[in-house]
Amino acid sequence: MSRTFWIALFIAFANALSFTILIPILYLYGRQFGLSDLQTSLLFAIYASAQFISTPIIGKLSDRFGRKPLLILCLAGTVFANFLAGTASTAAILFFARFLDGITGGNVSIAQAIVSDITAPQQRAKAFGLFGAVTFGLAFILGPILSLLFQRFSLGAVFLASSAIALIALTFVIIALPETIKTKAVKAEKWWDIGLSNLITGLALPKIGILLIVNFLIGTTFTIFTFGFQPYFIHVLYQNSKALTLLFVALGAVAVAVQGKGIGLLTQRLSLVKILFLGLLMRSVTFVLMPIVPNIIFFVCVCLIFSVFNSLVQPTITTLISLNSKPEEQGTTMGLNASYLNVSNAFGPIIAGAIVHQSNPQTYSYPLFLAGALTFIVLLFAISQRRQYTPAQQTS
């Protein structure tokens, strides 16, 4: 891997850390402002909805003007938005801050486009495995640990820490990251053609469109789980925020091991498509198993198994999208992928928030059962459509 790859990986890690530090406290922070479960789900949804709108625009602009200037813009937005959230005095300010972070939140898709720019096609599965290990693995270990440290001051202090980490990433982009795009996209004939139309036309792209649909469905089922996971852990298993944070650390450690080494080993034996199927199957099974026995030891054991196979899903589907995209369209397709994944993050929490009721803790298990059943349906859909998105070199 080149020097630029490792620079981009560090920036992506710092960006991911600024996000994962917030995960253990987002639900609790919303409740601190007096929000109900449903209202808290809308706090998740407004961030994801804003990203859905902005990410394809940012991705297309990065194809046209370069990765570096757009990444600077996105990280600057994260710095300001999380500072605003950390100092918020009302729920309205908190909602606005989450919207602002979402509307400038193309960081991950641009970083993925950078990896695509500088990595040969035959090396992308390994590259995105390392990318996932660092951004969604290592960051999931260190983020919750840092969160736990700053929670000693206040939940708002965690947002301020997130802002500071994003500022470090922003500084590193300005100083150390070279521009990586080699072939810039042709300037649009119409000035208003800034990428929003791609949300529709992207679905018709050969091989790419079906992957966008699959990833949207994957994301929706996963975020039904992620929103239901925290209240189930706290209200049904009677655990606290410290225990929740430590569980995130353990899950992150597993993800680092799997994405750092496991994906590279698996690709020597299985095609990317089969790895995706394996990850979805085991994700479905573990979702259903989690709430069957309301016991903390059982729950943690199932979660660890879940983390092993869950770690396969996103790096695999990102690699499939990259392999099926032209070099000059990597930013656009990665932006589209992130956009549909982000809007799934809006639907999932709303669905989960609508079926749980504070007065009946048993309902906190419903999102886990629902996520498992829907994930299995998504697996069947992905299997039925596999010939539409399997790369030519991996056709089986």
**pLDDT score for 394:** 60
Whether residue 279 lies inside any domain: the answer is yes
Domain ranges, residue 38: 3-178+194-388
pLDDT at site 381: 96
393 assigned to some structural domain: no
Residue 183 within a domain: no
Evaluate whether residue 366 is within a structural domain. yes
Q: What is the mean pLDDT of each run of 10 residues along the chain (396 residues)?
A: 84 86 86 86 84 78 86 93 96 95 81 85 78 77 88 94 94 90 58 53 83 92 86 89 83 80 81 94 97 96 94 88 80 75 79 83 92 97 92 61
HSE, CB side, 13 Å, CA atoms: give it for residue 177. Answer: 30
Question: What are 196's two structure tokens?
Answer: 């929003």
Number of independent structural domains in the chain: 1
34: left (phi over 0), alpha (psi -120 to 50) or beta: left
Residue 108's Cβ-count burial label (10 Å; 0-12, 13-18, 19+) is buried
Check residue 9 and give its pLDDT: 87
Q: Is 169 a domain residue?
A: yes
Give the N- to C-terminal CA distance of the chain in Å, as an integer.
Answer: 29
pLDDT at site 197: 61
Note whether residue 394 is domain-resident.
no
Task: Give domain status of residue 99, yes or no.
Answer: yes
Nearest Cα neighbor of 40 from 132, 149, 155 is 155
Q: What are phi and psi of 154, to 5 degrees?
A: -175, 165
Residue 35, domain member (yes or no): yes
DSSP 330-377: HHHHHHHHHHHHHHHHHHHHHHHHHH-BTTBGGGGGHHHHHHHHHHHH
pTM score over 0.85:
no
- What is the model's pLDDT at position 167? 95
CATH number reported for the structural domain that contains residue 250 in this entry: 1.20.1250.20
